[in-house]
Amino acid sequence: MTTERLYYNDCYLQEFAAQVVDRADDGRRVYLDRTAFYPTSGGQPFDLGTIGGIAVKEIVDEEDRIAHVLEAPLAKTEVEGRIDWSRRFDHMQQHTGQHLLSAVLVELYDITTVSFHMGAVTSTIDVATPSLDPKRLERVEERSAQIVWEARPVTISYEDSSADLGLRKASARTGTLRIVAIDSLDRSACGGTHVRSTSEIGPILLRKLEKIRGNTRVEFVCGMRAIKQARQDYRTLAEISRIVSVPFEDTPALVQAQVDKAKALEKNLARVAAELAQREGRELYAAAEPDAAGVRRATEHGPIDEVMRARAQAFASGSKAVFLAISENPPSVLLAASSDSGIHAGDRVKAAVTAAGGRGGGNQAIAQGSVPAEKLEAVIKDVLG
Ligand SMILES: [Zn+2]
């Protein structure tokens, strides 16, 4: 038995009486003789609400029938259905807004819509153009606003597919088509729910543009979503403006200047840190006592980074010098040796870490290796010889 879709003729029906004609999943999936619940279809998500006082979880379009998936089993046969109206009306605003936008894109620039997706926060249409100039986007937004405040009727009619219907997009369906029309602007074959006047769409805001497989994805919000989004954008900008202490219009230039400044400072800081590390290396060398063979040694603990490398190289630039850096986390060693020290840093580190199951190597002057934590002590002993 085909489910009668009450929303086809009355998108504003919020409550209805119906009979349960079939059920599955112990009464958690019910079929009614008639329903005002919209199932996920054509880019528009399903309705929520209650049936016989039980919350609806999902509405599924099974072609002839509509399945109502419920949170708990339903035993009754005569039921009352209630649509979550704020959710549905929001969907009607986004969906009708999409018809309007797609029609305006054709009217102004002959750009067709390929697909539509309604998300929980924003909606998108993919349009058949590799790019969309921001100026054109503004024109589309302004033209759409104009049609909204002209309060043009949005009407539903049923017409045969064999007639010349003048649709924006040809329909693949045959037989009787449900035509949704915006007065003097658009005619589309559509089974969705729509508001009755363009004025009920409310504000339409166009937002992000994205390139998607040769098309352009246009993000948009309508109605209360547009108001909430604009409010959120205002708050974000106000917060940035407060942090940087300049008026809104000056924030882009100031933020750019701050980012450039931070980058320059970072670069300078790295240079100063390297210079300081070299000085420390030379001072360590000067302070080290030569052993019986005249070799000066130093061992440092800490992260093995650019600063440590600079310190090690500066130390080993002195004659008869050996510098070892040890890092506990991650467990690793760095060895630097002067050319007259009699030590080949690369050979020594490679042998020690390989024996310990680690990895590493380098050249005569400097080498680095990492080892499993429990082998670090043994490697240090090996490297020091
Ligand atoms: Zn539609």
pLDDT in tens, 309-340: 999 999 999 999 999 999 999 999 999 999 99
Tell me how far the alpha carbon of residue 189 lies from the centroid of ligand 1, in angstroms: 7
Q: d(Cα 198, Cα 8) in Å, to the nearest integer?
A: 18
Q: What is the dihedral of CA 154, 224, 44, 175, to 10 degrees?
A: 0
pLDDT, one tens digit per residue, over 169-200 is 888 888 999 999 999 999 999 999 999 999 99
The set of residues, in sequence order, having a beta carbon less than 8 Å from that of 371 and lying 6+ positions away, is 331, 332, 333, 353, 356, 357, 358, 360, 379
From 224, 147, 207, 142, select the one nearest 183 (Cα to Cα). 147
pLDDT, one tens digit per residue, over 93-123 is 999 999 999 999 999 999 999 999 999 999 9
Decide: helix, strand or coil at residue 322.
strand
Query: What is the value of pTM for the model shown?
Result: 0.77
Tell me how far the alpha carbon of residue 259 lies from the centroid of ligand 1, in angstroms: 45
Place of tokens 């360590």: 284
Tell me how far the alpha carbon of residue 298 lies from the centroid of ligand 1, in angstroms: 77
Tell me how far the alpha carbon of residue 103 lies from the centroid of ligand 1, in angstroms: 12
pLDDT higher than 90, residue 42: no
pLDDT higher than 90, residue 359: yes
Name the region of 342 (left: φ>0; alpha: ψ -120 to 50; beta: rest). left
Let me know: does 188 contact 167? Beta carbons within 8 Å: yes
pLDDT higher than 80, residue 140: yes
Decide: helix, strand or coil at residue 49.
strand
Tell me how far the alpha carbon of residue 130 lies from the centroid of ligand 1, in angstroms: 25
Token readout for 43 is: 């880019």
**CB atoms near residue 205 (< 10 Å):** 19
pLDDT higher than 80, residue 385: no
Tell me how far the alpha carbon of residue 191 lies from the centroid of ligand 1, in angstroms: 6
Tell me how far the alpha carbon of residue 349 lies from the centroid of ligand 1, in angstroms: 71
pLDDT higher than 80, residue 375: yes
Tell me how far the alpha carbon of residue 55 lies from the centroid of ligand 1, in angstroms: 26
pLDDT, one tens digit per residue, over 227-243 is 999 999 999 999 999 99
Tell me how far the alpha carbon of residue 204 lies from the centroid of ligand 1, in angstroms: 16
